[in-house]
Each structure stands twice: as structure tokens, then as C-alpha cells.
């Protein structure tokens, strides 16, 4: 694994060896890794159950694995019995959710990705300065709901370029755009360009809102798409960044691209006439699922795996500070109040 040899483009498809082009980087980003470890550590330290509001990350396998260890996933903090521990997912929550947990006498662990927290803080700051905030993102996504909740009176959602025409602001000289962290870079900049055309004085956030991992995975997909006839992205159907990777592959010109949770979901018909398969995974996907796809492909003649590396990733985040406290005791005290 890891050979960087390339087959000449002029070789007939029938004579080219079957191969897998494996993206690097792929899979877990620092924020997801932190969130998943936080749930595991909480279960080790405090014992089951530990409640988690919404999926800790958008991946079916991860959620099922943590459920077997004693995590209980709920839709709202109000569903958790008083005196328990509830963790907030990597996607972040609105201030009202923290208040619900306090009212429900729950000890909390905030596993929000620090890069999402950065966007929350930007929203708060610009709202205090009385800007109109145009949040580029997908309606209903948990991250968008959480960010919007920081300054609901100042934030308008812009769900793609087609939304721009209907946006109205109080003062065109005091408008800023922010973004959901898991979007397609190209799609976001298309929306930004449309916004700038309508609001020439539009201010950009002080740093990129789209997270480094999302950008890196999309860049790797573009590289794969130039060499592969088929791209497979491992990820769940509710994972925004995984969905965007499939879209990026198609936009880059790959003939076919699909999203699968597990190797068993791959249709062998996809491989007909294909000599080069591009493979990557979303930022919430453990590598065991990618390895299973590699084994599945190897059994069908795609044993030659070449690494396509486009970036190095070394970022790590410290675990939530709440894990350093005795949250079981704190939860018990909350019930007595």
C-alpha cells in the first residue's frame, strides 16, 4: 500500500491494472476524534448511562458502537431525567439548550468542535456590534441551528446562491457573512460572490469558517476525480461533509460517485468497466470502515492501492474540561437544590 506509480493515460482501459486511489487525508478530523473520545471517557469515568443530545457525530457506525457501550442518544435535553449527565454533540448547540439542561438539573459536557465554537463566537461578536449576519448553510442542519441561536435577531440563513435575491438587510454597510463549517468550499464562495454583488461592502469573517478538514478532504477528492472512473465516499446520509465530497467529485468530472455507510452497500454493477476506483471518507468516519471497503474491493481484483496525498494533518484538540470534574456528584447535588 502506498505506491505512487501512475498508469500512463494512453493505455487502453482493458490493459490497465485495477487499482484503488486512496485519499489522504480522510476520515476522522480533530473535532470528531475529540467528541468520540469524550463520550468514551465519560462512560469510563462516570459509568453508564451518559446521555448525548443528538448524534455525537453524523455516523451510523459510531453511534451504534457508543450505544453498545452505554451511551443514550436523545433528541432534546428535556428528555434526560434530572440528576444525569448530558453531552452536547460536536455540531454545537444554541444557548437555549444550555439553559434547558440547567433547568432540567443536568450536569453537562460540551463536546462542540472548537472550530464550530469559533463561528459561534464570531456570531456573538458581530451581533453585539449590531451587524446583520448572513449565515451560509443548510436549513435544518444542527450546526446552523446552534449558530443561529447565538444571535437569532441578527442572523439570516442563506442556503445557497439562489437564496441571495430574497435577502434584505438594515444597513448594507454593516453586513458580514459566516458559514457552516462543513460546506463545499466552491459552493460557499459562489454564494459569497453573489452576496458581494448585492452587498458590495459585505465583510468576510476574520478567518475561514469552513474547517481545515472539510477543505482538505474536498481537495483530495478533486485530485482523485481526475484519475478515477468511480469515486466511493464512506459516510452517512446525514453527514453534510460526506455529502459535499460526493458532490465535489461529480463537479470535478468523475463519471460516477456514491456515498455508502458500509462496504455491503456497494453495488458490484458500479465496477463494470472501471479500472481506477477513488476512495475516501467523511470527517466523522472511523478508518475501520474504509479498510472494510478496501478488503471488499481487493476480493474483486482491486488489490493495488495507491495513496493520493494532498495535505498533512496534525491538529489535535484537548478534551472537554468538564471531564476533569466529578460530574456524577455535581448531578446529584443539582437534584437536591
Supply φ then ψ for residue 244, to 5 degrees.
Answer: -65, -35
In the chain, DSSP assigns E strands to 19-24, 50-53, 71-74, 85-88, 107-110, 132-136, 155-158, 175-179, 230-234, 256-260, 276-281, 304-309
Distances (CA, A) of 93 to 150, 287, 327, 334: 9, 27, 20, 21
Q: Which of 55, 100, 122, 143 is catalytic?
A: 143
Residue 91 annotated as binding site: yes
Of 192, 181, 252, the closest CA to residue 219 belongs to: 252
Question: Residue 122 catalytic?
Answer: no
58 is in an annotated binding site: yes
239 marked among binding-site residues: yes
Measure the CA dihedral 91/57/207/114, to 10°. 70
240 annotated ligand binder: yes
29 marked as part of a ligand binding site: yes
181 is in an annotated binding site: yes
Q: Is 141 annotated as a binding residue?
A: yes
Give the Cα separation of 119 and 122 in Å (integer): 5
Distance from C-alpha of 117 to C-alpha of 311, rounded to nearest angstrom: 24
Strands 155-158 and 71-74: unpaired
**Percent helix, percent strand, percent coil in the chain, to nearest 5:** 40, 20, 40
CA separation, residue 222 to residues 14, 104, 272 (Å) = 25, 47, 22
Q: Nearest Cα to 292, choosing from 256, 265, 259?
A: 265
C-alpha cell at position 317: 484538540
Which residues are catalytic, by number? 143
Q: Which residues define the annotated binding site for dimethylallyl diphosphate?
A: 58, 91, 141, 239-241, 284
Q: Which residues define the annotated binding site for [4Fe-4S] cluster?
A: 29, 113, 211
Q: Which residues define the annotated binding site?
A: 29, 58, 91, 113, 141, 181, 211, 239-241, 284
Q: Which residues define the annotated binding site for isopentenyl diphosphate?
A: 58, 91, 141, 239-241, 284
Amino acid at each position: 500500500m502506498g505506491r505512487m506509480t501512475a498508469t500512463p493515460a494512453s493505455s487502453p482501459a482493458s490493459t490497465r491494472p485495477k487499482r484503488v486511489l486512496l485519499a489522504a487525508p480522510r476520515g476522522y478530523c480533530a473535532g470528531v476524534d475529540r467528541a468520540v473520545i469524550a463520550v468514551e471517557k465519560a462512560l469510563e469515568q462516570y459509568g453508564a448511562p451518559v446521555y448525548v443530545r443528538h448524534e455525537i457525530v453524523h455516523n451510523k457506525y459510531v453511534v451504534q458502537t457508543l450505544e453498545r457501550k452505554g451511551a443514550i442518544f436523545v433528541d432534546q435535553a428535556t428528555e434526560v431525567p434530572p440528576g444525569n449527565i448530558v453531552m452536547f454533540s460536536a455540531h454545537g448547540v444554541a444557548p437555549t439548550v444550555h439553559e434547558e439542561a440547567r433547568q432540567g438539573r443536568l450536569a453537562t459536557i460540551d463536546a462542540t468542535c472548537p472550530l464550530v465554537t469559533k463561528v459561534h463566537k464570531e456570531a456573538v461578536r458581530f451581533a453585539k456590534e449590531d451587524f446583520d449576519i448572513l449565515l451560509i448553510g443548510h436549513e435544518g442542519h444542527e450546526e446552523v441551528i446552534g449558530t443561529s441561536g447565538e444571535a437569532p435577531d441578527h442572523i439570516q440563513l442563506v442556503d445557497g446562491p439562489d437564496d441571495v435575491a430574497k435577502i434584505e438587510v438594515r444597513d448594507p454597510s454593516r453586513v458580514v457573512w459566516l458559514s457552516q463549517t462543513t460546506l463545499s468550499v466552491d459552493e460557499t464562495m459562489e454564494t459569497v460572490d453573489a452576496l458581494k454583488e448585492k452587498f458590495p461592502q459585505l465583510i468576510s469573517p476574520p478567518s475561514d469558517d469552513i474547517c481545515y478538514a472539510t477543505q482538505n478532504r474536498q481537495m483530495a477528492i478533486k485530485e482523485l476525480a481526475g484519475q478515477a472512473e468511480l469515486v466511493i465516499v464512506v459516510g452517512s446520509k446525514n453527514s453534510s461533509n460526506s455529502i459535499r465530497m460526493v458532490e465535489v467529485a461529480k463537479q470535478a468530472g468523475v463519471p460516477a460517485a456514491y456515498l455508502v455507510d458500509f462496504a455491503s452497500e456497494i453495488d458490484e454493477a458500479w465496477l463494470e468497466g472501471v479500472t481506477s476506483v477513488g476512495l475516501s471518507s467523511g470527517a466523522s468516519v472511523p478508518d475501520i470502515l474504509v479498510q472494510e471497503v478496501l478488503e471488499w474491493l481487493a476480493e474483486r481484483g482491486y488489490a493495488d492501492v495507491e495513496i493520493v496525498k494532498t495535505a498533512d494533518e496534525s491538529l489535535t484538540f484537548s478534551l472537554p474540561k468538564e471531564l476533569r470534574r466529578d460530574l456524577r456528584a455535581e448531578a446529584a447535588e443539582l437534584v437536591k437544590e
